[in-house]
Structure 1
Amino acid sequence: MARRASLSYWLHYNAIVLLAALIFIAMFAVYLILLPRGISTGIMVTAANKGVLLALVAAAQTFPVLTGGIDLSVGAIVIMTNCLASNYVNGNPLHIAEGCALTLICGLAGGAINALAVVVGRLQPIIATLASSTVFYGISLLFRPEPGGDVDDDFASFMTGAIGWIPISLIILCALLLLVWLPFRTSMIGRSIYAVGSAESAAYMSGIHVGRAKAASYILAGFFSAIAGLLLTLISESAQASMTNAGDLTLNSIAAVVIGGTSLFGGVGGLPGSILGAFILRTIGDLLFVLNAPALWQPLFQGVVLLVAVGLGALPLLRVRNRLEAFR
């Protein structure tokens, strides 16, 4: 009985994630069937690289959302670290390692700036990160005034290639889940982030350091955004300081988070669901391409998906008589 109850609870708690997994599998199967040239390692690697890129940005967005906030600067940090990496990920192996480390440090610094604005400055997350995204865009222009890049070809080809038929980017994503997410989920700071997102006042009264939890969430967001920026550099072997691309990444990350079952009110969800949501969004784009949908329809359709996803995230407000209860 205890095992059945435990399994029933697990299925109920992970219902949205499991549904997202089934939707992705079905959509990706249809995509593979419709491919005119059939399945190949190159197609799988390309699909994986695009999916992992958005999955990393969605993972970055997940941490602030779990606290009940939102980070509108994740896309700008991706572009900023992309522009930085395009200048320094080259040369001998030592220089490449230094360039990768510098890129990650830049992302952590961006997350720390957001954390200071939200925790110390006590600004609303949406305002603080909207302002910081402009700053990060300005830094991107300093790193890369014009499109271009100088990236080591061999390193880029290896990191965006495959071992056998398994894409390396997918291996890196799984490693991040195992080495970062699983320890984080059961750590004190991880539980604090969930507690703050569920009920900030109750968490504070319970002795949880609310400021520390929020700061950790934005710093982790900067870290994952930097990894995404580094991957973008290796995929394109170039960079461009584009605020449009930054905005698209940010909006798609929010949609992926909601599709994956993470509540915009905080306290519910996690990285696995957000990653699946990102792959679903990428597969929608690939399906539209394979189906030869008119180019003007694709942004429209993706915008509708985004609107529906965010609307579904607001459904909890419709389930309570007094809407103030949703914020307790």
Structure 2
Amino acid sequence: MSPDLRRLGARASRKAAPLGALALFLLLYLVYNMLHPRGFSGAVLIQNANESVALVFLAIAQTLPVPLGGLDLSVGAEMTLANCLASELVTGPPLQVALGMAATLLAGTAFGALNGLVVVYGRLQPIIATLATGAIAIGLALILRPRPGGRVDADLSWALTNDLAELVATWNLADPEAAWLRPVAWIPVPILIVLVVALGVWLPFRRSLTGRTVYAIGSAEPAAVLSGLPVARARIAAFTLAGFFAACGGLCLAIQTSSGNADIAQAGTYTLNSIAAVVLGGTSLMGGVGGALGSIVGALLVRTLSFYFRILSVDPLLQPLIEGAVLLAAVSLGALRTLRVRNRLELFR
């Protein structure tokens, strides 16, 4: 086989997992809407978007350290810390709300940078380092919110958890009945937030030297070092951006609930689901392969599964068992490719 055909086949193989996840998500979501009494309505779409956005951001956050060959077990705790911080700061006059949102995102970013510094200069495995820093984040969240509570600006909460028409009407940005707005008025604002943040932050990073170095480290770290690539900078940048995206998830959660809650169980569930979403989206836990788009699809797939529990009235005691079995089957199917290779380098060609 010629080198060109081999490269084309390898590229198609890498795209197979995210495309398969996308097809499965579309099928499941279609059937879900057919079963729902109010399926194919704007209200259902908005509700689903709000329930998914935090996990989507955490899946993007997890996508950054995984190509390095490591896992970030602190993303759920960072999200929880940002949620509690936002419930304290994102209220009051418009300027204070804006500064509170910026402070929340900055805190998550700084915590992610701490993870990177500990991994690089402490020479610790990411899974151990982030397990420890995640416990610190949960401790800080409990200090901020020993009990659920707090407040988030009501207009902000309403505008960012509805469709585009409500966003425009809430802040008088334009005429809600304008002709240019009608075709897109139904789009949920959480979807737009994910697209703006992903396109504005993920894509520039992925195409930068630092972003390409992240994937080079996961593929062959000794080769990346010998090539003179900024390995230490790439590791720190990956964990820093992971903290930023986790904080985005926590901020969105606070805006949706208008409160903060230092829920340890919730933090752990979100972390595990973010790992499942990343794998379902085609990112290899061995490192070097994957992307945010696949992880977004994986997160939507994981969340759609929980929608079925509600619509089918599945016993809450059985939900973890069913969810675990389905995710295990899906992840195992995605891992079949690794069992067929004779040389690990074939995974990255």
Under a length normalisation based on structure 2, what TM-score does the superposition of the two structures give?
Answer: 0.88
Equivalent residue for 1:105? 106
Taking the aligned partners of 1:160 and 1:174, their CA distance within structure 2 comes to 15
Equivalent residue for 1:218? 239
Q: Give the direction of change, closer, same or farther, for the CA distance of 1:89–1:111 in structure 2 (3 Å limit).
A: same
Equivalent residue for 1:145? 146
Deviates more, 1:43-52 or 1:91-100: 43-52
- Is the CA contact 1:82–1:230 (under 8 Å) kept in the aligned structure 2? yes
Aligned with 1:206 (options 206, 215, 227) = 227
Structure 1 unaligned regions, length at least 5: none
Equivalent residue for 1:189? 210
Q: Secondary structure at the match of 2:260?
A: coil
- Is the CA contact 1:252–1:306 (under 8 Å) kept in the aligned structure 2? no
Give deviations 1:47-91, integer Å, cap 9, x for gaps.
011122211000000000011111000000000000000011001
Q: Secondary structure at the match of 1:267?
A: coil
Q: Secondary structure at the match of 2:72?
A: coil
Equivalent residue for 1:243? 264
Q: Name the aligned partner's letter for residue 154 of structure 1.
A: D
Shift of 1:316: 5.5
Aligned residues: 325
Shift of 1:11: 3.9
Q: Is 2:25 the partner of 1:24?
A: yes
Structure 2 unaligned regions, length at least 5: 165-184
Q: Secondary structure at the match of 2:261?
A: coil
Deviates more, 1:31-40 or 1:83-92: 31-40
Q: Secondary structure at the match of 2:71?
A: coil
Deviates more, 1:238-247 or 1:8-17: 8-17
Q: Secondary structure at the match of 2:286?
A: coil
- Is the CA contact 1:64–1:218 (under 8 Å) kept in the aligned structure 2? yes
Aligned sequence identity (%): 51
Equivalent residue for 2:318? 297
Deviates more, 1:30-39 or 1:79-88: 30-39
Q: Give the direction of change, closer, same or farther, for the CA distance of 1:14–1:324 in structure 2 (3 Å limit).
A: closer
Under a length normalisation based on structure 1, what TM-score does the superposition of the two structures give?
Answer: 0.93
Taking the aligned partners of 1:9 and 1:123, their CA distance within structure 2 comes to 33
Q: Name the aligned partner's letter for residue 34 of structure 2.
A: I
Q: Name the aligned partner's letter for residue 258 of structure 1.
A: V
Taking the aligned partners of 1:144 and 1:116, their CA distance within structure 2 comes to 27
Q: Secondary structure at the match of 2:61?
A: helix
Once superposed, what is the RMSD of the aligned Cα atoms? 2.3
- Is the CA contact 1:57–1:224 (under 8 Å) kept in the aligned structure 2? yes
Taking the aligned partners of 1:200 and 1:226, their CA distance within structure 2 comes to 29
- Is the CA contact 1:264–1:313 (under 8 Å) kept in the aligned structure 2? no
- Aligned residue runs from structure 1 range 1-328, under 5 A: 11-163=12-164, 164-312=185-333, 315=336, 318-320=339-341
Taking the aligned partners of 1:204 and 1:33, their CA distance within structure 2 comes to 53
Give deviations 1:136-170, integer Å, cap 9, x for gaps.
01100111111111111111110111112101110
- Is the CA contact 1:150–1:238 (under 8 Å) kept in the aligned structure 2? yes
Taking the aligned partners of 1:41 and 1:207, their CA distance within structure 2 comes to 51
Shift of 1:39: 3.2
Give deviations 1:77-110, integer Å, cap 9, x for gaps.
0000000000110011100001000100110111
Q: Name the aligned partner's letter for residue 225 of structure 1.
A: A
- Is the CA contact 1:255–1:309 (under 8 Å) kept in the aligned structure 2? no
